[in-house]
């Protein structure tokens, strides 16, 4: 009855609301000046187009020119170079996940989207990286470093990321082939294409990527000091297909994502047989329609999400996972613009189902405690926010209420004050966030144990920036993060049964800084990130005992830089570098003790040369060199979980060929 009451309340809530959520044409960011880049319109933080300097969020925009300039192989390379505070570590089963501002965010603490589709899996809310998401067809990436739960719900506690594929408002096509090689095996070998057809009332866009690669040539050493070469045992394969169709005010879009890879690391002890095949598959479909005009609009939508995540079968040890996740989502966004005030309201209603495979082998597949073949949840979320632009400052206030049939309710408010003057801007924000522990987690609570409740986060942020003339800009931001009732995985001391539980708090505070420089010959970016662990007696799973101001796996000091020299309008060279300070991780066990190892500071350096319109117009070629110093970069485990560091890629050389027509 409670969720029905919520739906009725949401209906009346929307009837009384107003909105502006225009589907504006995307800006051509390919050759913008520094001032234009600093004043881009973005919608990721608020779902309405607002100048990036006044948007009430710590926002980073990565353009397609940024991607080409860096020569990045994949998301990991790109985020290391351009997004302060983002880092990566290894979970289990060869999965590389993300950390944000020192905190392990992999299980449901950030939202990752492609064209607005939620990529977080339906079992644990994770997103795997490592040659997964191709950069070749990306138009731009919008990133919020900070909470987005008041708009996006329970996966947006530490950040929101949206990859936007090829611009739907440009005619023409694009074909890209990328190949890099370590001297022993391909680290990347993929083909991508995209095509846009535009008519009077119709815009049709299609893009696709097919690729293979590898994780490393080096040896992997497990928690018991066993080792095995990853050469030929860590291949990755990705297939992605996206389609968008706009007819007047109707939009239909779909996304198919198929990512699978070889792994030999499992959970603690390496696997000695034929490399295991693991996969994450997702299919999405959405229909939306815009009613209204520039001052008022109403956009209902219906979407469907199908996933088969963490698919792995190891008969030798009696393990299998073949579960399927379904989500049916219906929602409506309404808004109104009245002079200096914008009011945005919305409702989301999710019906989730996690289902056992039809041919269940009980020896291998985990069963559900309810004795049925599926777990069912429903969640309704209602959100609202107002933006009021005044001469002295702009004010943003909002909140979201969610009710889950499994976990009860959560309410998170948000408030922000921003203002951009001619050269100076500032932002001051306070927000709460939450994480809903859905998927398989409720099934991992033994009888007699306390039910899970949502995590709750509180984040304070401040940003200040200044543009120096027409060539340089600096942005500095400070933050303070605290999560209460964090959800962790543990084992019962007597039975050895694994389970999830709420336990204490975790938090960090720190500073991030970005500098940009741009003139006719030079374009450079430099960013810096530093965090300090907030003291807590309940985050022992993540802390470094001998250095209580930092967390496992993630260095408290990161510096990244990219500098491009344009010899002329068709030739440019780029040098990039990511510097990692000291990191700590539990590498192995000896004499029944976990051994903590310090990883020394290192720099990962890349170099590439780009030739545009050569040998003919529309053709671009790049010569790529990554990790040219051959730094022994690895992905440590960001918690005490008995998994050795997963080696990263060695030095590699290659090329990227792009033809646009």
The DSSP string of 65-99 is HHHHHHT-SSHHHHHHHH-TTEEEEE-STT-EEEE
pLDDT at 571: 94
Q: What is the tens place of the pLDDT at every residue in 228-253?
A: 999 999 999 999 999 999 999 999 99
pLDDT at 9: 39
List own/partner pairs for 495-503 with CB under 8 A and 24 or more apart. Answer: 495/446, 497/446, 498/444, 499/444, 499/445, 499/446, 499/449, 500/437, 500/441, 500/444, 500/445, 500/452, 501/445, 501/449, 501/450, 501/452, 502/450, 502/452, 502/453, 502/455, 503/538
Q: Kindly give the parts of the chain with pLDDT less than 70.
A: 1-51, 167-170, 360-363, 492-497
In the DSSP assignment, the letter for residue 371 is S
CA proximity to 329, closest of 355, 356, 347: 347
Q: Strand pairing partners for 184?
A: none
Contact 166, 194 (CB under 8 A): yes
Q: Is 316 exposed, middle or buried (0-12, 13-18, 19+ CB in 10 A)?
A: exposed
pLDDT at 253: 95
The DSSP string of 335-346 is EEEETTEEEEEE
SS3 for 9? helix
- Give the pairing type, strands 235-247 and 250-263: antiparallel
Contact 514, 527 (CB under 8 A): yes
| Distance set, CA 291 to CA 50, 332, 594, 632 (Å) | 21, 11, 60, 55
- Give the pairing type, strands 111-114 and 159-165: parallel
pLDDT at 360: 60
Return d(Cα 466, Cα 449) in angstroms, integer.
Answer: 53
CB atoms under 10 Å from CB of 371, counted, come to 6
Q: What is the tens place of the pLDDT at every residue in 361-405?
A: 556 788 888 888 899 999 999 999 898 989 899 999 999 999 998
**pTM reported for the whole predicted model:** 0.90
pLDDT at 492: 64
Return d(Cα 361, Cα 318) in angstroms, integer.
Answer: 10
Q: How many residues does the chain have?
A: 661
CB atoms under 10 Å from CB of 208, counted, come to 18
Return d(Cα 298, Cα 22) in angstroms, integer.
Answer: 10
Return d(Cα 608, Cα 47) in angstroms, integer.
Answer: 36
| Distance set, CA 383 to CA 9, 12, 276, 340 (Å) | 12, 13, 43, 21
CA proximity to 80, closest of 644, 649, 510, 533: 649
pLDDT at 262: 96
Return d(Cα 138, Cα 457) in angstroms, integer.
Answer: 31
The DSSP string of 469-494 is TTTEEEEEEEEEEEEES-EEEEE-TT
Q: Compute CA 365 distance to the chain's CA centroid, rounded to the nearest angstrom.
A: 29
Domains and CATH numbers, the chain: 2-660 (2.40.170.20)
């Amino acid at each position: 009855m409670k969720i029905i009451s919520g739906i009725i309340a949401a209906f009346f809530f929307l009837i009384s609301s107003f909105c502006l959520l225009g589907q504006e044409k995307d800006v051509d960011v390919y050759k913008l000046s520094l001032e234009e880049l600093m004043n881009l319109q973005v919608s990721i933080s608020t779902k309405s187009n607002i100048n990036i300097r006044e948007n009430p969020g710590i926002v980073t925009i990565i353009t397609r020119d940024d991607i080409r300039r860096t020569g990045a192989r994949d998301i990991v390379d790109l985020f290391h170079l351009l997004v302060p505070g983002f880092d990566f570590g290894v979970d289990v089963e060869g999965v590389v996940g993300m950390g944000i501002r020192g905190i392990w965010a992999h299980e449901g603490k950030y939202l990752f989207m492609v064209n607005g589709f939620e990529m977080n899996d339906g079992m644990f809310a994770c997103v795997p990286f490592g040659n997964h998401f191709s950069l070749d067809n990306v138009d731009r990436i919008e990133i919020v470093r900070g909470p987005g739960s008041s708009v996006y719900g329970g996966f947006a506690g530490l950040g929101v990321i949206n990859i936007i594929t090829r611009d739907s408002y440009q005619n023409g096509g694009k074909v890209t082939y990328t190949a890099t090689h370590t001297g022993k095996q391909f680290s990347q070998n993929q083909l991508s294409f995209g095509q846009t057809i535009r008519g009077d009332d119709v815009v049709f866009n299609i893009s696709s990527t097919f690729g293979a690669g590898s994780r490393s040539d080096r040896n992997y050493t497990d928690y018991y000091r066993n080792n095995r070469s990853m050469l030929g045992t860590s291949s990755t394969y990705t297939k992605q297909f996206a389609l968008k169709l706009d007819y007047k005010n109707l939009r239909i879009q779909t996304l198919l994502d198929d990512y699978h890879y070889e792994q030999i690391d499992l959970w603690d002890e390496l696997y000695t047989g034929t490399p295991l095949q693991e996969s994450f598959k997702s299919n999405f479909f959405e229909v939306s329609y815009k009613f209204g005009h520039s001052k008022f609009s109403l956009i209902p939508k219906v979407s469907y999400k199908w996933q088969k995540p963490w698919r792995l079968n190891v008969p030798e040890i009696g393990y299998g996972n073949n579960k399927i996740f379904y989500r049916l989502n219906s929602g409506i966004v309404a808004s109104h613009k009245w002079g200096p005030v914008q009011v945005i309201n919305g409702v989301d209603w999710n019906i989730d189902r996690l289902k056992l495979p039809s041919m269940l082998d009980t020896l291998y597949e985990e069963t559900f405690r309810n004795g049925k073949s599926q777990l069912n949840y429903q969640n309704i979320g209602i959100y609202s926010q107002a933006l009021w632009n005044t001469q002295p400052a702009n004010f943003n206030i909002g909140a979201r209420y969610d009710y889950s049939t499994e976990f009860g309710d959560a309410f998170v408010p948000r408030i922000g004050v921003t203002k951009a003057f001619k050269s100076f801007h500032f932002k001051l924000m306070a927000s709460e966030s939450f994480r809903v522990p859905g998927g398989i987690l409720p099934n991992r609570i033994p009888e007699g144990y306390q039910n899970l409740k949502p995590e709750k986060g509180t984040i304070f942020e401040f940003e200040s920036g200044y543009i120096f003339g027409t060539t340089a800009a600096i942005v500095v931001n400070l933050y303070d993060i605290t999560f209460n009732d964090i959800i962790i995985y543990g084992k019962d001391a007597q039975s050895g049964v694994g389970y999830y539980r709420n336990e204490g708090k975790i938090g960090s505070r720190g500073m991030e800084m970005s500098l940009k420089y741009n003139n006719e010959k030079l374009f450079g970016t430099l960013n810096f990130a530093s965090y300090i662990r907030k003291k807590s007696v309940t985050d022992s799973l993540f802390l470094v005992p001998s250095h209580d101001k930092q967390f496992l796996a993630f260095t408290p000091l990161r510096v990244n830089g990219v500098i491009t020299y344009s010899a002329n309008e068709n030739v440019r060279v780029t040098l990039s570098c990511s510097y990692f300070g000291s990191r700590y991780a539990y590498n192995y066990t000896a004499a029944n003790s976990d051994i903590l190892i310090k990883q020394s500071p290192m720099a990962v350096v890349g170099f590439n040369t780009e030739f545009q319109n050569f040998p003919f117009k529309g053709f671009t070629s790049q010569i790529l060199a990554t990790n040219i110093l051959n730094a022994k970069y690895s992905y440590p485990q960001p918690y005490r979980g008995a998994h050795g560091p997963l080696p990263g890629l060695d030095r590699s050389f290659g090329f990227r060929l792009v033809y646009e027509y």
